[in-house]
Amino acid sequence: MTKTQTLKKVGGSVATVLPKAMLDRFNLGAGDKIQVIETAEGLLITPFDPDFADAMAAYERGAKKFRNALRKLAQ
């Protein structure tokens, strides 16, 4: 979905309002954190958190290595 947004001055900052359909599709709401990444094509706004992704990758490596111990702990 492509949507043209207007930037508005809010105090000393500039903001825009995201449409409810977009917020619902990405499960976003007031107070949620998003990442704004500068790319060659422009700005990328995403709920993706690279730190969380790194932590999950480390968990997956550990879960494979200690699968039996984790299974025992779960009992």
- 61: its two tokens: 């490596």
Question: Which DSSP letter does residue 49 get?
Answer: -
What's the confidence (pLDDT) of residue 45?
85
Q: How far is CA 49 from CA 31, 32, 33, 57, 59, in A?
A: 15, 12, 9, 13, 15
What's the confidence (pLDDT) of residue 63?
86
What's the confidence (pLDDT) of residue 1?
67
> pLDDT per position in the chain (75 positions), as tens?
677 889 999 999 999 888 899 899 988 999 888 888 899 999 888 887 778 778 888 888 888 888 888 888 888
What's the confidence (pLDDT) of residue 12?
94
The sign one gets for the Cα dihedral 23, 27, 30, 32 is negative
pTM, two decimals, is 0.53
